[in-house]
Chains A and B, each alone.
Chain A
Amino acid sequence: RKEVEQDPGPFNVPEGATVAFNCTYSNSASQSFFWYRQDCRKEPKLLMSVYSSGNEDGRFTAQLNRASQYISLLIRDSKLSDSATYLCVVPGAGGFKTIFGAGTRLFVKA
């Protein structure tokens, strides 16, 4: 089993749709979790951090389920500009070595 697994995608959604991505992790000791956004040929940029049960920032909601070891990212009212790859990032064993998921590609179409 991979340390971090994400929905493979791609997700193709119309503008205004709600879309959710899931990410499972294997290190039960992980305390902090992150969603990063990566545009084509650009660096990853931090979108949201998740430390407790969840976090909300505008149209974006991240939820954490420690018992099942997964985090999710919900995007409401999708915009064209939301088109990107979303990376689930989890600290690995020991807390320092960070593990990236393979990413979920989102295409939002007019």
Chain B
Amino acid sequence: EAGVTQFPSHSVIEKGQTVTLRCDPISGHDNLYWYRRVMGKEIKFLLHFVKESKQDESGMPNNRFLAERTGGTYSTLKVQPAELEDSGVYFCASSQRQGGAYGYTFGSGTRLTVV
């Protein structure tokens, strides 16, 4: 079974530019989550999709972040315009059941550096 795939693995962009991160969940997993870990801090929830619908986006830091999951398959997270404090590792995870009742499977993350 293919795991959760994230692309790109690394991205270095200048402040003010736009970056789009992609996540392909495990096939059949309706639940898709985005998380972020900034340097020295704990992993923070960003948002949760159930199929193509946003179940909870309370963790999104501000309106520079836009997440989509058209068709309920892969998801994208766009940051526009990027700021220095957006640097960190962005993880995507998926699960079969809501609330991750049997745990989440994480992708290997996208390391974003804004300079």
Interface residues in chain A, defined as those with a beta carbon under 8 Å from any beta carbon in chain B:
32, 34, 36, 42-46, 49, 87, 91-92, 94-103
Q: Are A43 and B59 in contact, with the CB atoms below 8 A?
A: no
Question: In this complex, what residue of B is CB-closest to A102?
Answer: B42
Task: With CB as the reference atom, state the residue of chain A lying closest to B6.
Answer: A43
Given known A46-B103, A46-B104, contact A97–B91 (CB-CB < 8 A): no
Q: Are B58 and A97 in contact (CB under 8 A)?
A: yes
Q: How far is the CA of A92 from the CA of B100 in the complex (A)?
A: 12
Rounded to whole Å, the gap between the CB of B39 and the closest CB of chain A is: 12
- Whether A49 contacts B103 by the Cβ 8 Å rule is yes
Q: How many Å lie between the Cα of A97 and that of B105 in the bound state?
A: 15
User: Known interface pairs A43-B91, A97-B56, A97-B58. Does A49 touch B45 (Cβ–Cβ under 8 Å)?
Assistant: no
| B56/A101 in contact, CB under 8 A | no
Question: Count the B residues whose beta carbon is within 8 Å of the partner chain — how many?
Answer: 25
A44-B91, A91-B100 known; A98 vs B45 contact (CB < 8 Å): yes
B44 interfacial contact with A, CB 8 Å: yes
Mostly, the A contact residues are loop
Interface centre among A100, A101, A102, by most chain B C-beta atoms within 10 angstroms, is A100
A45 — nearest CB in chain B belongs to which residue?
Answer: B106
A-chain residues with CB within 8 Å of residue B104 when the two chains form the complex: 46, 98
Q: How far is the CA of A12 from the CA of B58 in the complex (A)?
A: 37
Cβ contacts under 8 Å, B56 to chain A: 94, 96-97
For the complex, is B48 an interface residue (Cβ under 8 Å from A)?
yes
